[in-house]
Structure 1
Amino acid sequence: MRDFVIRGGCVITMDPGTGVLPEADVHVVDGRIREVAARVEVAPDVEVVDAGRCIVLPGFVDSHRHLWQTAIRGQLADCSLGDYFRRILVGMASSVTAEEVYTATLLGCYQLLDAGITGVVDWANVINTPDHADAGINALLESGIRAVYAYGWPAGAEHLFHSTTPHPEDARRVAEQYFGGSDQLVTLGLGLRGPVSNPPEVLVSDWRLGRDLGARLNVHTGMRVPGVPSRDITVLAETGLMGPDTTYVHCTNCTDDEFRRIADTGGHVSVAAHSEMVMGHGHPPTARLVAAGLAPSLSADIVASAPGDMFSQMRISLAQARISAYPDDPAEPFEPTVTASDVLRFATTNGADALGRVGRVGMLRPGMDADLVLIRTDRVNAMPNHDPIATVVTQVDTSNVDSVWVRGRPVKRAGVLLDVDLGRLERLAARLEESMRTKMIP
């Protein structure tokens, strides 16, 4: 792997001890950050990346993305949560093939990398056969993205509500076949069904499987589903299953006491503000999570209904969190607690927790992996650049993403994805589009 130095950029380190460096260099050796300083002297044969009029920052992390649903991009813009269960999870998902999972996951990964998202938790809840799991994992590996593969369950009602069917044991095969080392870019997680789906004995069995495998655990909790009590966190606490290895997704209907339980057990929460508001999960709990001492991360959830870039998610999350502080009485002051700086941390540093990679990614600090994004500010949507954090959170978009590295390997340079056969990808996408037309349920 070639060493390189990113020269003369405005560096948002996300390191509390370093902050923002108006003009600095980032030196990368063997995939890790060697030095971040105002000037780094390197040997003549070291590649120099000119970052003048650019912002350098850690790669974004999407902490909850159903990548297989890239197959139905944009088809659920007006869909409710209930319709989503009926049309997708209980409906068409059972007809999705392993080949379609591979194509959709690969397309989704390249969309992420193109947008500067270097890490993702892939919530794979369409494990209709072992081949489906292999297809999703192989797509992640091929793309070069950093990921947690959250092995879920087969499609269909049998596994969703009031199920006594345990989590697929095939997860053990996958763990042995693909996930032998702790330093891999793609690591194993489990996408678990919550208390709304499982009786306590199945919950205990599923959580035990995940912990036996050393997997990062992920569970949807506290969504506003008609006729379904949202005591998920309370039930998990009473069952003794909560822990620091678990990411709780959505949590829109959780109580403040349940948030305290998550904080007390070291858990993590992923917020998907766009899908939560559009599909009716409930009010995104971002500001409440911060008040409870939690460090939420952000996700797009599904590109079937939500934009897949982190710039959109940051803006939606910031706006929703701030308006949630709006008082009913106009005579009272408007005192929002969530800032643009907070939201950038949600999209970077906090996402490292969801990946199980705290201390490895999410900041630009010597010794950490070089998951980096270079954002151009010499474009009309970013000039003048008075405040680099505000520029990233509120002004730029995917067109400003110039270069991306994952553990020091360039995956995008000068605005172009590298090592991607676009012709092949277009052919795969065309076949996927055609096959999905016959499977969608109105």
Structure 2
Amino acid sequence: MADTLIRGATVITMDRQGDLPHADILVRGDCIADIAPSLQVDDAEVVDAAGCIVIPGLVNAHMHTWQTALRGVAANWTLLEYFQKMHAGLATAFQPEDLFIATRVGALNQLNCGTTTLADWCHNNPTPQHNDAAIEGLLTTGIRAAFFHGTPKPDPKPGQVPFWEVPHPRREVERLLKAHQGHALLAIHAAVLGPHYSTLDVALHDFRMARELGLIASLHQGGGAARTPDGWERLEAEGLLGSHVNIVHGHALSDAQLKRFCDLGMSFSAAAESEMSQGHGHPLTGRLRQFGRAPSLGVDLESVLSGDMLTQARVALGIQRSLDNVAHREQHGTIPSTSTIRTREALSWVTVEGARMLQQLDRIGTLAAGKQADLVVIRASDLNMQPVHDAVSSVVFQTSLANIDSVMVAGRWKKRGGRLLAGDLTGDLARLRASGEKITRAMGLQQRR
């Protein structure tokens, strides 16, 4: 693979080099070889990036990609409706081929929007064939992915053991680890129930499994009463908590619990837009900041909202500023003298913090020599971007999908000149539509056109 020289861009490294107003990036193989104001390189493909901003590839830290064929279906549902209509309803109609096309198209859309790393939280996978189909959907796109193996959540039938009493299938996780061992762009982890959604015995089993297999244990926390109210205390007493544990949402955690978990090095992933829409509560952003921590962010549900990670950064930033402003006015009777959160911090939530949550900050999340060449080229000369006074703020507040010119993963272009390099998507989109129509029809949901 020939060297690539991206020339003359404003580079936001999110690393020690800081922001470079006019710099070149040399990509050699799958890594960044150098970043400097002026590089002289022979025999490299030169990409003119004048008038562009280059940022690290975005990291989507939490998405149920299997729901791509159901875009908009859950847009008006609360969390309670979602549990009943999605997990106990629509999810039960999925065949392996439905997971494949949903995951493939969902991952391609992530690349199109500037996401280079996707944490795919797959919890509609009743058979090994479903898992294989979902993973194949990821692999066909060339996105960097972490496949979080979950378990389905249907209502139990008479005589059937309910899902919250079923331990995570370790043998299947081990099969996937063996099948994809050493893959450069794919990691396997565990999407476990956790003490909020399972019995204590199941939680202990699942957390021991994750620790013994060296996996990140990611879990949902919140949404109603916990099935094991003292579960977190019991897990900690068994020595099962630490930096490998990732809490998604995190609502219903007390401040004392949250501080303890921060002290233990656990990570947190918020889905601000989804959480506010479906009734979880306010995102944890501000509560984490008081303990010196920050969230990673995820889209969560394309069945509810769009897959654009910069939108997630804007929403999370906006709601926390609003909460901070209201709290200040209530305490002091006036507007704060300055914003409580800068735009650079919001950009870190969808780059640095996502990489940290996946335990890959040494490889991705920032732009630096020696790191993987995962990057996004934003056309800052466009109508909606000009003039650029503060490149970071322009990225966070002005940039839309229309400005995402090029996307690179591990040194390979996945999007160039505003066009996704995925061939003719006509067949994929037809399969996606057919899948969505089949699933909604099977559940008696009428699609409104």
Supply the AA of the counterpart residue of 1:91.
G
Asked whether the equivalents of residues 57 and 365 of structure 2 are also in contact (C-alpha less than 8 Å), the reply is yes
1:23 is matched with 22
Structure-2 separation of matches of 1:230 and 1:164: 15
**1:418-433 mapped onto 2 (5 Å cutoff):** 418-433=421-436
For the residue of structure 2 that corresponds to 1:383, the secondary structure is coil
For the residue of structure 2 that corresponds to 1:163, the secondary structure is helix
Structure-1 separation of matches of 2:276 and 2:161: 22
Asked whether the equivalents of residues 300 and 313 of structure 1 are also in contact (C-alpha less than 8 Å), the reply is yes
**1:363-378 mapped onto 2 (5 Å cutoff):** 363-378=366-381
2:276 is matched with 277
Structure-1 separation of matches of 2:27 and 2:11: 14
Supply the AA of the counterpart residue of 2:57.
G
Cα shift readout 1:365-423 (whole Å, capped 9, x = no counterpart): 11000000000011111000111100010011011000000011110000111133312
The answer to whether the aligner puts 1:172 opposite 2:174 as a matched pair is: yes
For the residue of structure 1 that corresponds to 2:165, the secondary structure is coil
1:217 is matched with 217
State the 1:348 CA deviation.
Answer: 0.4
**How has the CA–CA distance of structure 1 residues 233 and 336 changed in structure 2, closer, same or farther, with 3 Å as cutoff?**
farther
Asked whether the equivalents of residues 90 and 440 of structure 2 are also in contact (C-alpha less than 8 Å), the reply is no
Structure-2 separation of matches of 1:362 and 1:286: 19
1:118 is matched with 116
1:3 is matched with 3
Asked whether the equivalents of residues 92 and 441 of structure 1 are also in contact (C-alpha less than 8 Å), the reply is no
The answer to whether the aligner puts 1:202 opposite 2:205 as a matched pair is: no
Structure-1 separation of matches of 2:191 and 2:75: 24
**How has the CA–CA distance of structure 1 residues 322 and 14 changed in structure 2, closer, same or farther, with 3 Å as cutoff?**
same
2:192 is matched with 192
For the residue of structure 1 that corresponds to 2:281, the secondary structure is coil
State the 1:277 CA deviation.
Answer: 0.4
Structure-2 separation of matches of 1:236 and 1:390: 41
Asked whether the equivalents of residues 200 and 231 of structure 2 are also in contact (C-alpha less than 8 Å), the reply is no
The answer to whether the aligner puts 1:147 opposite 2:149 as a matched pair is: no
Asked whether the equivalents of residues 31 and 407 of structure 1 are also in contact (C-alpha less than 8 Å), the reply is yes
**How has the CA–CA distance of structure 1 residues 286 and 230 changed in structure 2, closer, same or farther, with 3 Å as cutoff?**
farther
For the residue of structure 2 that corresponds to 1:358, the secondary structure is coil
Pick from 92, 106, 130 the counterpart of residue 94 of structure 1.
92
State the 1:233 CA deviation.
Answer: 4.5
Asked whether the equivalents of residues 9 and 24 of structure 2 are also in contact (C-alpha less than 8 Å), the reply is yes
State the 1:111 CA deviation.
Answer: 0.5
Question: TM-score, structure 1 length as denominator?
Answer: 0.94
Asked whether the equivalents of residues 153 and 163 of structure 2 are also in contact (C-alpha less than 8 Å), the reply is no
**How has the CA–CA distance of structure 1 residues 90 and 214 changed in structure 2, closer, same or farther, with 3 Å as cutoff?**
same
The answer to whether the aligner puts 1:349 opposite 2:367 as a matched pair is: no
Structure-2 separation of matches of 1:351 and 1:234: 27
- Identity level (%): 36
State the 1:338 CA deviation.
Answer: 2.1
The answer to whether the aligner puts 1:133 opposite 2:131 as a matched pair is: yes
For the residue of structure 2 that corresponds to 1:375, the secondary structure is strand
The answer to whether the aligner puts 1:402 opposite 2:373 as a matched pair is: no
Paired residues in the alignment total 437
For the residue of structure 1 that corresponds to 2:62, the secondary structure is strand
Supply the AA of the counterpart residue of 2:98.
E
Cα shift readout 1:115-150 (whole Å, capped 9, x = no counterpart): 000001100001111100000111111110111100
For the residue of structure 1 that corresponds to 2:194, the secondary structure is coil
**How has the CA–CA distance of structure 1 residues 46 and 165 changed in structure 2, closer, same or farther, with 3 Å as cutoff?**
same
Asked whether the equivalents of residues 11 and 22 of structure 1 are also in contact (C-alpha less than 8 Å), the reply is yes
Pick from 56, 63, 70 the counterpart of residue 68 of structure 2.
70
2:79 is matched with 81
Moved more, 286-295 or 394-403: 286-295
For the residue of structure 1 that corresponds to 2:140, the secondary structure is helix
Question: TM-score, structure 2 length as denominator?
Answer: 0.93
Structure 2's unaligned 5+ residue stretches are none
State the 1:77 CA deviation.
Answer: 1.1
State the 1:336 CA deviation.
Answer: 4.8
2:312 is matched with 313
The answer to whether the aligner puts 1:322 opposite 2:321 as a matched pair is: yes
Supply the AA of the counterpart residue of 1:166.
P
The answer to whether the aligner puts 1:386 opposite 2:389 as a matched pair is: yes
Cα shift readout 1:266-291 (whole Å, capped 9, x = no counterpart): 11100100010000011111111111
Asked whether the equivalents of residues 242 and 266 of structure 2 are also in contact (C-alpha less than 8 Å), the reply is yes
Structure-1 separation of matches of 2:334 and 2:228: 34
The answer to whether the aligner puts 1:163 opposite 2:164 as a matched pair is: yes
Structure 1's unaligned 5+ residue stretches are none
